[in-house]
Copies of this chain bind each other. A is one copy, B any other.
Amino acid sequence: MVKVGIAGGSGYGGAELLHILIRHPEAEISWISSHRHSGKLVSAVYPSLLGFLDSSFTSLETLSPSDLDVLFLALPHGEAMNIVPQLDGDPVIIDLSGDFRIGDPDIFEQYYKLPLSAPEHQKDFVYGLPEINRSQIRAAKRIANPGCFATATLLALYPLYEEKWIKGPVFVDAKTGSSGGGSSPSPGAHHPRRSNSLFPYRPFSHQHVPEILQILDTSERPLVFQTYSAPFIRGIFASHYMALSREATSEQVRDLYQKYYSSEYFVRWVPECPDVNYVRHSNFVDIGAATQDGFLIVWSVLDNLQKGAAGQAVQNMNLICGFSETMGLGFPPTYP
């Protein structure tokens, strides 16, 4: 049993950690902070948890890392990098923000519009995408948990880049549900605007782009990445368009993905088109594809708060702590 703390437990990422860890047989939630809701019962802020958790949110100042085995940082971008340098003790740290994903101060500032502090701590963090980085994660103490869009696109494109199946640019049309924007009301998630519509945002410049570019070699196969706000609550639906450098049947495409992911519990190859409905509230990534006339479309779908955030964070915790990788995560998606 590990003692777990969550900094920023009242945001959607933190709340999803709570919902998962409550059921996790090896985790005990022993500390939860919230800026906005410090002092309030967790169940007053998340009445879904009534009866599951008697705790109240506390303030970040009460953090005592040496009392924790695992510390999840689920804070807004720019806060974790100020906290990490001051931490004593040696808990496992899993940061759900972008603060330790990039490393390069110029690139970080370009995309996050924030200066990068704590540059000397950047190298301590391993990029926590288990399907690509598992062995490094197992050996790590500090994890930069991937972004939701980055997880969807990296898992979709990694085999194709590795095997050089792509000719020319790849275009990614990536749609997110409204929970991806966080728990604070905002114009883009205001129901009268969001609920019956669809619109692009951040043309060419979403902050998950640089972490994708760190994994894929896009020097000869550039990536164009465009994000959209879609009117569902949870989910990333990412469509990847490209020309193929070689002929490939549907079966060969499937075999390529099977080669990379057949032993990956959380990656499911779907024979039909994927659908946000079939991954919701689970840690699965569903991948499917269609090909014709030398072109390929690959679709990847995940729940942005699970595999795109808290679920993957717990998957990383499981790897580091030596638990079964699927512990607390092996439940099916909910549908309808």
Contact = CB atoms under 8 A, between A and B. Distances in A.
A198 B277 CA distance: 8
20 contacts: A19-B335, A46-B278, A47-B278, A48-B279, A48-B332, A50-B286, A51-B265, A51-B284, A168-B243, A189-B191, A195-B196, A196-B196, A196-B232, A196-B276, A197-B276, A199-B277, A204-B292, A204-B295, A226-B297, A305-B336
Interface residues of A, number: 85
Interface of A: 12, 15, 19, 22-23, 44, 46-52, 168-169, 171, 173, 175, 177-179, 183-187, 189-201, 203-204, 222, 224, 226, 228, 230-235, 237, 239, 241, 243, 265, 268, 270-282, 284, 286, 290, 292-293, 295, 297, 299, 305, 331-336
Contact of A336 (B169, B224, B233, B277): B233
A177 to B, nearest CB: 8
Given A192-B183, A226-B239, A241-B171, A197 B232 contact: yes
Nearest to A239: B173
B192 A190 contact: no
Number of copies: 4
Given A51-B268, A173-B173, A195-B232, 4 more contacts: A12-B192, A47-B270, A185-B187, A196-B234
A332 B241 CA distance: 35
B168 A277 contact: no
A199 B275 contact: yes
Contacts of A44: 271-272
B233 A196 contact: yes
A207 to B, nearest CB: 15
